[in-house]
Chain A
Amino acid sequence: MSELPPTTSVKRWLVTTNHKDIGILYTITALFFLLFGGVLALLIRVQLWDPANQVLSGLAYNEAVTAHGLIMVFWFLSPFGFGFANYFVPLQIGADDLAFPRLNAVSYWMYLFSGVLLGISFFQGGTLSAGWTMYAPLNIPMYTPSIGSTGAVLALAMFTIGITASTVNFLTSIHHSRAEGMGIMDMPMFTWGILATVWMMLFAFAALLAVGLILAADRVLGSVYFSATEGGSLLWGHLFWFFGHPEVYIVFFPALGVMLELFQTFSGRRLVGRKWVIISICLISVQSFLVWMHHMFLTTINLEIKTLMMATTIGISLPFDLVVFSLIYTLIKGRIQFTTPFLFAFGALLLFILGGITGVFLGAIVLDYEFRGTYWVVAHFHYVMFGGATALFGGAYYWFPKVTGKMYDELLGKLHFVIFFVSFNMVYFSMFLGWETPRRVFEYNPAFQTFHQIGTIGAFILGFSFFIMFYNFAKSYVAGEPAGDNPWDYSRTAEWAVSSPPPLENWPNRPSYASGKLEFVKDYVPDGGPAVKADGDGNAATDGGNSHSDHIKEYPYWDKHPSHASIWPFALSLMTGFFLFGLSGFADSVTFIVGESIASTSVEISNVVYPVFIVVGLVGMIASGVKWGLEDFYAPPSEFAERWPFNGVEKVKLGMWFFLASDVIVFGAFLSAAIFVRYNAGWMTWEPLTESLPGLINTFVLITSSFTVILALVAAHRKSRQGILASLGATILLGFTFLAIKLWEWEHEIFDRGVMIASNAHGDPIQASIYYVTTGLHGLHVVIGLLIACYLFVRTYQGHYLEDERPIEYFGLYWHFVDIVWVFIFPLFYLF
């Protein structure tokens, strides 16, 4: 553990794990990607100026279209919202930080380096050109052969890993660290928006991770999932949109949360029908997983399913109706102040209404048949997603005084809004007028040229409007008026009760809502013992809401202070970036020449750069992981917190459960893919590729190893070091036995039976791909489990875990999960 350097030091920003610092990093990085994606958008608009004269080649245009979509959806919209979430969710719920500060830093660095990988992919023979929806089989190397295409896919996978870490972190924080007295229904609406978002992310991004891993396997290892005519294209469609539809709300809900906050703050009214708005948000989150096939109405899915999906699609529009009306009625009888943040939030509502109405058109299947693949769809989702993001810019102005302590320039802010709003409608409303133009086409019907030219002019003005904002923020940061702690008349949430900017650990004393109102209570700490809660209105309570404590509070953590700095998140993410960069060129630089047996198989390396990055990255990842584990980093759970519905679940265990829930979806997607393809190929036409005996033995091996993990935990309870060593050692041995049998089985398949990842002497090649990739993913989980087990073994030998056996328990949870997955894999691949 090291001390946190001052904000003027570059080192501070590399090692910080503080949620506010990371929130700032997210926001600035996201704005950079807004510019990146925006420049690509302008390239697209220039190309559309004239249907006959082109600036970009067809391939370059497709790259611009693809990267624009990917960057805006993944690298701009969500991270921009999560910048605010990082900064303000802990403040709004009365927490000191997120539950896992180092994990939070990892999420950010994974995000940044994944963006760097995406940037690099432009120089690896061109980035992906298959559209942000990456429909199969255009997304496989046969049709998009550049190394950069693989690089972009891996960048997305890396981004998804960071997102998963972030999701687990926010879920644990919001469910585990709310201040005393803040029930789940009492949370501010922005936090509610984020909570709904992360619940959706937990499942949706797991599906994206799965489909990204499968695509990476196709591109790097040569499996044939998405080129398979046994439903490969539709498999991509289903998996992608199972993620893709919730993603729309994942992007929109942070913005909705900002809208809900700002409408209240700038009208002086409380939200109308608050309870029903929350219920609507929860309903939408659940329903979002039941509508994905409305993106596939024109594929070969049958009428019954289409009808069902149409019904669920209309169903999901209804809770949105209620939220919109609630927003409107909240303003009535208020004292509405037309500040810049309010203008942006209000503009977002108007744009969203238009986006919503045009969305109802798409819900009617007959209309969707014609709108599919046209600019109607493009215009609609820009009104919804970018229209929603409009509120996020409102959020940027709203919270700017809190983050910097300075007030922005109101006149420039309003100017930005007016130019933004007018040019926004120039760009996207013109798309409705010229809607018959096919998407991603630049040689369009000249009849629509006027509309596209209006759009192009609007796009340049829209782009320019952001420079007003950048100038405003830069100028105000340097020379703005001091804003004070609470510049808004009717703000309610707790971030306005602390100084601007807030102190490192947020609160002067422990925040509590036990009396129904925010108060900072001073707990009584006996020497060396745990804190004793101050009584509700006792003399320990201080005047709530107006405390200006700047010093880092002396908080009752026995004798330890919480840590705020670690370099290992940065190192781990950088090394992951190295590894994935190496992987992107793996297929092009390493060739395996398979002979009669392992001995006669040789490897040919045509380019050493990529393999070197793979090795360096891999070693670096393991090294930084170990350093991370060894680091003395103290992030205590909140002493007194509202934890519904997870009362009594310890913090790390809760995080572990959330992680495993997302991993269930990852494996669920892999197994669904196996079942879907096999069903399309004709279920009974496939025989298991392998004999069932090795699989059966491995089943027993794994179940026994689950048992030995339990023995290790029992031994830890009894504080028996030798007991732990013996049972952990047995677990490790069983794990290696499993891997050895697995390798023998693979060797037998490859050399004796001629079953390889892309070719199969006994049936469809896709069957071999599914077998290797699915059991390979499981094997990878076993390998990671063994790495952790070895680490625990060494640490036990050094005398740890006798006082605190929780690490062994968490490892046990993971190991049991890996074993349970095998119980599903075994019948599917070995028996039937």
Chain B
Amino acid sequence: MIDPIILQQGSDWRAQAEVFDEIFFVFLALGTLVGTIVVAYTLWNVYKYRDDGGEPKEGFDAPTVGELPTGQGGPKAKKLFLSFGLSAIVVISLVVYAYGILLYVEEGPDTGEEGDIEILVEGYQFGWEYEYPNGHTTTGEMIVPADQRIDIEVTSRDVWHNFGSSELRIKSDAIPGETNSNWFSVSSEEVQAQGGEATFRVECFELCGSGHSAMKGQITVLPQDEWEEWYEGTEGDDSGSGNESATGNESATGNESASIDDAVSVSGAVAGGVPV
């Protein structure tokens, strides 16, 4: 179940898929452990204290009809709080651990390189359209270079979609009137491993109408030089003003860009300059 793709580039940052696999493994291991212990303990006790038809043990105080309920006191109440405390520690430490990683995912890695690419993703019934910094658009297939952080800005033209790729472990709601940010990156090793061109399945994860099931897309990752060749070939076949070019280092600090997007979504007319 744990996908073994490792999309590591160097040792200083990690792809979302890798981050996910690690947390998922930790949760799965602990969850299985705790679940097994609790269920086994319960089953064993249920068997041990079954009614075997014999005489009631000493101290067994059967309830009667019409009594006002009282709780069972004694040492079991202490045990209750002990187990409660233990489980609380497990759950809280798990979440604190996961939260640290969330901050990383939200911020995104600072790859420290020039030319991070920002692609606008627009969902529609029933497909995806991608707009590149130079204004060129493609539908269905997003073509990106390896070894670069790709920032995506996701929105929708009609209804609520969800842009996601299970293999890359990325997912973003595509909501009309809102813009959602996410990022991903694929290493050239991975591209090599897939034979010089890596492809990842894109699916819609929010019910969006009769064609929801068939709303598939693809992310194609090319080696840097091949991609640049393709990208340059797209210049000029579009009136695209190209003013929404890659914002370089600015967008690399994803935290900032995320908060700007929030401002846009909160008061689009003011901050985003969206015509009303």
Binding site for B on A (CB under 8 A): 57-59, 61-62, 65, 129-131, 133, 135-138, 143, 181-182, 186-189, 228-234, 264, 267-276, 298-303, 307, 310, 314, 317-318, 321-322, 324-326, 328-338, 346, 349-350, 353-354, 357-358, 360-361, 363-367, 369-370, 372-374, 433, 435-436, 438-443, 445, 486, 489-494, 496-497, 513, 516-519, 544-545, 679-683, 685, 764
Contacts and interface: CB of A to CB of B under 8 A. Distances in A.
B31 A268 contact: no
B84 A367 contact: no
A42 to B, nearest CB: 18
Nearest to B175: A233
B62 A353 contact: no
B148 interface: no
25 contacts: A61-B213, A143-B158, A273-B80, A274-B69, A299-B175, A300-B178, A302-B262, A303-B258, A314-B91, A324-B38, A326-B80, A328-B41, A331-B42, A331-B46, A346-B46, A350-B39, A360-B95, A373-B162, A441-B204, A441-B213, A445-B201, A491-B65, A492-B65, A517-B66, A682-B276
A759 B205 CA distance: 33
Given A335-B56, A336-B49, A441-B203, A545 B27 contact: no
The 9 closest A-B pairs by CB, nearest first: A373-B205, A518-B66, A274-B71, A229-B177, A682-B269, A364-B98, A58-B210, A59-B210, A335-B51
Contacts of A358: 31
B62 A275 contact: no
A228 B211 CA distance: 23
Contacts, number: 314
A332 B62 contact: no
B87 interface: yes
A51 to B, nearest CB: 9
Contacts of B81: 273
Interface string B155-187: 000111010101001111101111110000000
A269 B72 contact: yes
Nearest to A436: B166
Contact of B171 (A329, A361, A373): A373
Interface of B: 1, 16, 19-20, 23-24, 27, 31, 34-35, 38-39, 41-42, 45-46, 49-51, 56-57, 59-60, 62-72, 76-77, 79-81, 83-84, 87-88, 91-92, 94-95, 98-99, 101-102, 105-106, 125, 158-160, 162, 164, 166, 169-173, 175-180, 201, 203-214, 216, 258-259, 261-262, 265-270, 276
B207 A353 contact: no
Nearest to B54: A335
Contacts of B212: 58, 62, 440-441
Contacts of A62: 207, 209-210, 212
Contacts of B35: 353-354, 357
Max chain B C-beta neighbours (<10 A), residue from A231, A328, A366, A679: A366
B80 A272 contact: yes
B69 A188 contact: yes
A681 B276 contact: yes
Contacts of A374: 166, 205
A440 B88 CA distance: 34
A369 B106 CA distance: 11
B255 to A, nearest CB: 8
Contact of A492 (B31, B67, B166, B269): B67
Contacts of A186: 68-69
A324 B37 CA distance: 14
A354 B31 CA distance: 9
A138 B159 contact: yes
Given A131-B207, A298-B180, A366-B105, A443 B258 contact: no
A166 B57 CA distance: 45
Given A321-B84, A373-B171, A338 B209 contact: no
B66 to A, nearest CB: 3
Nearest to B53: A335
A230 B270 CA distance: 12
A322 B86 CA distance: 11
A230 B268 contact: yes
A364 B27 CA distance: 9
Nearest to B64: A492
B267 A679 contact: yes
